[in-house]
Amino acid sequence: MTQCNTNFLAPTGFQLDIPGFTSVGFQCVSANIPGLTMGGPTQATPLNDFQLSGDKLSYETLTVRFLVDEDCNNYSLIHNWMVGIT
């Protein structure tokens, strides 16, 4: 069960649910949609260079800003997860 300390005085926020982190809630204030590019080699010709199709996708950074709860539970969960995967 997710513990949620909702603040209805901030109507621009939204709730972010992350699978695997169901014990805490994340009240987000902003998030972006990361860009996606597919790089590939350039074929040189005497008249004009043209781009060949690539085989790898490159994702830009996903940035999520959230409010830290008063007990720092959501911050601690993310911090401990990041330390655990390094």
The one-letter amino acid at 70? E
- Does residue 2 register a pLDDT over 60? no
Structure tokens at 5: 């300390």
Structure tokens at 25: 């809630």
Residue-level pLDDT at 25 = 81
Q: Which residue has the higher pLDDT, 40 or 65?
A: 65
Burial class (CB in 10 A: 0-12, 13-18, 19+), 83: exposed
